[in-house]
Every structure is written in structure tokens, then in C-alpha cells.
């Protein structure tokens, strides 16, 4: 029995939550934040900071660097040098800034679809092109089409690849061999890799992810890695993240970009929350990972017994469940709109993550099991109504 209570049903409607900004009869299971409180250590650190009562400008202290270095060494077997770390206000701000700094208008950025939809914004909003390397989905599992990837990387206008490691929304942890091959291909075609590793701590118990930069000298030298405590410890609103960039030349450019884009300065809570989370949040995280493992199995058992038309993809990371609904429809935009209006369930349509996401739903299962079960009941009810409506019953 865990000393942390992930079963507590906490009202978030009163807290200006983006996720919960919906009608009272709608249950939101879409945007990627959790319905759990951050670890007690984070709460205590913030309470201390508030008690001080002065919220002026901050610097990045040594303890911030130490917290990242120890966490990656102890948890992920990766030794980060202090000089490689740069503070940033968020992973998305970093990605957009990196796209602007490391590529020119009109160049191509490769992404592996279906993938976190905001990558598209970071590319398109800056006047760059998206080149999709669709993942292969076969027998319920995703893998990389390396031939297609190399063709996209070899394009003369391709200068950057954004990797999602582990992968949102399919929940895949990329293997050392897969990462090494991505590194080799990118190096061969002079493409820089930005590895978004924001979901790296939320792996199934007993499983770890592999930092892209840790795979080889080559991967280290051609990459910029974006990490944060925000998904792990549910503190996205505190705007605290880091960029890890071993190569000096790349780092200078990235750091300049973050500075000129004004993404490099912490708010009064960003440092203390990150330090407390990484220094003292390990036990809480391990209990959370156990809880989320049960959430995955609750979903799997429910779908198998009550809704076999919807098949969960076997993810190993993230609290996002990628559901194959292709036997129901290829238009999951329509299905999600229907589920929201007729069954009071708000989930994300697969199309948002690229064209190969059509026919899939993304369900955020990071909530108390009681709420997850309510969401699954709504999904069952909504799908039954959807099928009846289509059959003209
Ligand atoms: C892959 C990925 N990157 C980045 C983010 C957001 O990062 P941030 O809140 O630090 O901008 C998310 C949030 O869902 C995500 O899934």
C-alpha cells in the first residue's frame, strides 16, 4: 500500500484548469496533465518560497544543475556535464526556439507521425515545412520505417528532426538500436536531432527509457535534448524545463535563441519546484508508476470484456492510452465530437497527431481509478450510441 493517495478525487474545476474548462457534465480526459497533486516535497518547497514573500527576479543556482545531474545519473544512467544544461521555461518554447535558431525559413523538419500535435505548430508557425515519417503499425505495435526516414532526411532542404522519446501518443520506448540508427542516418545527412524526452520518467515499473544523447558519441554530438519535471511531477503550470546540449557549437546557438526569445529566465517558483521534485520526488514517482500500471490494466481488461471494438495499443510509457478504433470509424474527429456531446467524455481525436492517427483516440488515464472507470463507462455508452446512430436505430 502506497503512502501517497492517488485515489483522492480532487476538484479542479475551481482552479482555472485548461483540461477542466468544460461543461459540468463533461469528463475531460484529453490534455496531458494529471488529476493528482504534485509530490509533498514540491508542495513544501513552494510553501517555503511563498512564506518568504518576495518574488523578484531569480538566477539559476547550483542546486538546480545538481538536481538534474543526479536525477539523470541515478535514474537514467546518463552522466550530464553541468556545462551542457540550460534552463528554459518549457519544452514547447524550447522546441520553437530551436526550430528558429537551427533551421531557415522554408526548410524541412522531420517528425514521426502520429506524434504530439504541438510539434506541428512549432514547425509551421515558424514558416518551416513538416516532413512526416509515418510509423509502421503492425500487429498492435509501432516501429520505424527507416527506409522512408532516410529518404526524408536525405532531402536537401531537411535540416532538423524532432524525435519524441518516449513517444507521445503511442507510448513507445525507443530501443538503443533504433536510437543508434536514427543517429547514424541523421549524421549521414547532416540533420540535427532534437529529442523531446519530457515523458521519460513515466515508464512502466521496471522499464527505463534511453536518453538519445547517451547512445553514442555521434548521437551526443548531433543532438539537443529537451527535458522537464513537468509531466513527471504534474507541474506544467510552473514553467520549468531544461535543454541538454553537449556540443558547444550547437549549445551556443540554442542558448542564444532561448535568450533572444526570452525563454531563459525562471519565475519565482520554477527552480525550487524542480529541485524538490528531482531531489525528493523519487518515491512518489515510483508509487505513481505502479498506480499508472494498474490504470493501463484497468483499461485493457475493460475494453477486452466490454468494448472489444476498441483495442488499446500496448504502451510502455506515458499515461496516455492510444486506442485503435478503426473497426468503428476512420473519422475519429466525428467520433470524439459525438462522445463529448452525447456521452460527456472529452478525449482527443487521432487525426490531431497527423494523418496516420485517423481511426485512433488518445485517452489521458492520469486520474483516480474511480474516475478512469467512469470515463470507460462513458466511452462504452458513447460508442454504443454512435453505432446505433450510424445504423439508423
Ligand atoms: C511530447 C511533449 N512535449 C512537450 C509537451 C509540453 O511541454 P511544456 O509544457 O514544457 O511546453 C508535451 C505536453 O503534452 C508533450 O507531450
Indicate which atom in ligand 1 lies nearest the CA of residue 230.
Answer: 10
Q: How far is CA 158 from the centre of its chain?
A: 24
Question: How far is 247 from 140, CA to CA, in rounded Å?
Answer: 38
- Which tens digits make up the pLDDT trace of 195-248? 999 999 999 999 999 999 999 999 999 999 999 999 999 999 999 999 999 999
Question: How far is 196 from 210, CA to CA, in rounded Å?
Answer: 12
What is the DSSP code string of 155-218?
A: STTEEEEEEESSBTTTTBPPPHHHHHHHHHHHHHTT-EEEEE-TTTT-BPTT-----GGGS-HH
In the chain, what are the helix, strand and coil shares in percent, each to the nearest 5?
Answer: 45, 15, 40
pLDDT of residue 73: 98
- Residue of 209, 231, 233, 321 to mutate, ligand 1, most atoms within 8 A of C-beta: 231
CB atoms within 10 A of CB 56: 5
Cell numbers found for residue 343: 456521452
Q: Is 364 in the pocket of ligand 1 (CB under 6 A)?
A: no
Q: Which residues have a Cβ under 8 Å from the Cβ of 135 and sit 6 or more positions away? A: 112, 113, 114, 142, 143, 144, 145, 167, 170, 356
Q: Is 164 in the pocket of ligand 1 (CB under 6 A)?
A: yes
171 CA to centre of ligand 1 in angstroms:
14
Cell numbers found for residue 58: 531569480
Q: With bands split at pLDDT 50, 70 and 90, how would you rate the model's confidence at 2?
A: confident
Q: Is 353 in the pocket of ligand 1 (CB under 6 A)?
A: no
- Residue of 19, 91, 200, 352 to mutate, ligand 1, most atoms within 8 A of C-beta: 91
pLDDT of residue 1: 56
Q: With bands split at pLDDT 50, 70 and 90, how would you rate the model's confidence at 127?
A: very high
Beta-sheet strands, E only, within 234-304: 241-244
153 CA to centre of ligand 1 in angstroms:
24
123 CA to centre of ligand 1 in angstroms:
15
Residues 30, 366: contact at Cβ < 8 Å? no
The ranges assigned to domains in the chain are: 13-40+282-387, 53-280
13-40+282-387: what CATH class?
alpha beta
> What mean pLDDT is predicted for residues 261-268?
97
List beta partners, residue 195: 163, 225
Q: Do domains 13-40+282-387 and 53-280 have the same CATH topology?
A: no
pLDDT of residue 82: 98
Q: With bands split at pLDDT 50, 70 and 90, how would you rate the model's confidence at 122?
A: very high
Q: With bands split at pLDDT 50, 70 and 90, how would you rate the model's confidence at 20?
A: very high
Taking all residues of the chain, what is their mean pLDDT, rounded to a whole number?
A: 97
53-280: what CATH class?
alpha beta
Which residue's C-alpha comes closest to atom 7 of ligand 1? 91
Residues 193, 214: contact at Cβ < 8 Å? no
The whole-model pTM stands at 0.97
Question: How far is 224 from 251, CA to CA, in rounded Å?
Answer: 8
pLDDT of residue 300: 97
Q: What interhelical angle do 248-260 and 91-102 show, nearest 10?
A: 110
pLDDT of residue 146: 98
- Residue of 168, 224, 232, 263 to mutate, ligand 1, most atoms within 8 A of C-beta: 168
Amino acid at each position: 500500500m502506497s503512502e501517497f493517495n492517488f485515489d483522492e478525487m480532487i476538484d479542479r474545476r475551481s482552479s482555472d484548469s485548461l483540461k477542466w474548462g468544460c461543461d459540468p457534465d463533461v469528463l475531460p480526459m484529453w490534455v496531458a496533465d494529471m488529476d493528482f497533486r504534485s509530490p509533498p516535497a514540491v508542495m513544501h518547497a513552494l510553501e517555503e518560497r511563498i512564506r518568504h514573500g518576495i518574488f523578484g527576479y531569480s538566477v539559476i543556482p547550483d542546486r538546480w544543475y545538481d538536481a538534474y545531474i543526479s536525477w539523470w545519473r541515478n535514474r537514467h544512467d546518463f552522466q550530464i556535464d553541468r556545462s551542457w544544461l540550460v534552463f528554459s521555461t518549457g519544452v514547447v518554447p524550447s522546441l520553437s526556439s530551436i526550430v528558429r535558431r537551427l533551421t531557415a525559413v522554408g526548410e524541412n523538419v522531420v517528425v514521426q507521425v502520429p506524434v504530439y500535435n504541438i510539434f506541428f505548430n512549432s514547425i509551421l508557425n515558424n514558416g518551416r515545412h513538416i516532413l512526416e515519417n509515418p510509423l509502421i503499425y503492425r500487429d498492435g505495435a509501432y516501429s520505424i520505417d527507416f527506409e522512408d526516414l532516410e529518404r526524408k532526411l536525405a532531402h536537401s532542404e531537411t535540416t532538423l528532426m524532432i524525435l519524441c522519446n518516449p513517444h507521445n501518443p503511442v507510448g513507445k520506448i525507443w530501443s538503443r538500436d533504433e536510437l543508434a540508427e536514427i543517429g547514424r542516418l541523421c549524421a549521414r545527412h547532416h540533420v540535427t536531432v532534437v529529442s523531446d524526452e519530457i515523458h521519460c520518467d513515466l515508464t512502466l515499473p521496471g522499464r527505463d527509457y534511453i536518453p538519445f544523447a547517451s547512445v553514442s558519441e555521434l548521437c551526443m554530438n548531433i543532438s539537443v535534448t529537451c527535458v522537464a519535471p513537468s509531466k513527471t511531477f504534474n507541474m506544467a503550470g510552473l514553467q520549468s524545463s531544461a535543454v541538454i546540449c553537449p556540443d558547444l557549437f550547437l549549445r551556443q546557438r540554442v542558448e542564444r535563441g532561448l535568450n533572444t526569445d526570452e525563454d531563459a529566465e525562471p519565475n519565482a517558483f520554477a527552480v525550487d519546484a524542480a529541485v524538490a521534485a528531482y531531489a525528493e520526488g523519487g518515491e512518489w514517482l515510483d508509487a505513481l508508476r505502479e498506480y499508472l500500471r494498474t490504470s493501463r490494466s484497468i483499461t485493457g481488461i475493460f475494453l477486452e470484456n466490454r468494448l472489444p471494438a476498441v483495442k488499446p495499443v500496448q504502451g510502455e510509457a506515458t499515461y496516455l492510452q492510444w486506442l485503435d478504433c478503426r473497426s468503428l470509424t476512420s473519422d475519429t474527429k466525428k467520433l470524439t465530437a459525438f462522445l463529448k456531446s452525447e456521452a460527456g467524455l472529452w478525449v482527443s481525436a487521432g487525426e490531431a497527431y497527423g494523418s496516420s492517427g485517423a481511426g485512433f483516440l488518445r485517452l489521458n488515464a492520469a486520474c483516480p481509478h474511480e474516475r478512469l472507470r467512469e470515463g470507460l463507462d462513458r466511452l462504452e455508452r458513447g460508442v454504443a450510441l454512435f453505432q446505433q446512430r450510424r445504423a439508423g436505430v
